[in-house]
Structure 1
Amino acid sequence: MLVSRSAGALRCIFTKLNQSTRKPSIQTIRKGHDHVWSYREPPPPQPKHIRVLAECVGGFMWWWIFWHLWHEPEHILGEFEYPDASKWTDEELGIPPDDEE
């Protein structure tokens, strides 16, 4: 009985050992037209014209943001001056008078 029970356990152990020593497969699967899906490896580098175009678009975006921040800061800071809180009265702040209980 011991031999029949140990055969299944040994088969399980050897299967696990064989699975752990196998190397994972590295593959690139091509799906669709120009889309490359990479598994367990970095994606292929983009062409040079795509990298240059991305840098140009990013540079234009930052120029647009800084230009509008310089010439129209009201979009971020608001159109009106911030009020001076030291000039507010207790009534405006919602503080009850001292003689009220």
Structure 2
Amino acid sequence: MFASKGAQVLRAFSALNGRTAIQNSVRNSGHACNYRCAGPPAHPKVIMAAEFVGGFAWWWVLWHLWTEPGHITGEFEFPDASKWTNQELGIPEE
């Protein structure tokens, strides 16, 4: 609703000024527009750099999972809850 009223207001102001209120401008962005189509192919150096960075990242993650699993699994043994007493669990004695 606001958009339709706004368009009417713009038309009214443009009629007062004697010129159109909405003007189309040329975008000089310096690159091709890729709307609903594939972009230009990447440079081979960019592809090689991306492959190298991705490979290094996977190596870093897998190496640290292999050599330092404590970051994922924890550094200490998980306690066995079946061995806890009622007092440790906070259960009152009857």
TM-score (structure 2 length as normaliser) = 0.60
Aligned to 2:52: 56
Shift of 1:54: 0.7
- The 1-side partners of 2:37 and 2:29 are apart by 16
Greater share of strand:
1
Q: Percent identity?
A: 57
| SS, match of residue 31 in structure 1 | coil
Q: Is the radius of gyration larger for structure 1 or structure 2?
A: 1
Structure 2 regions of 5+ residues with no counterpart?
A: 1-26
Equivalence for 1:74 = 70
Query: Distance in 1 between the 2:86 and 2:38 partners?
Result: 64
- d(CA) in 2 for partners of 1:37, 1:30: 11
Q: TM-score, normalised by structure 1?
A: 0.57
Detail structure 1 runs of 4+ shifted over 3 Å in the superposition: none
Q: Name structure 1 gaps, 5 residues minimum.
A: 1-28
Pairing partner for 1:31 from 1, 18, 29: 29
Q: For residue 75 of structure 1, report the CA deviation from its aligned partner.
A: 1.4
RMSD between aligned residues: 2.0
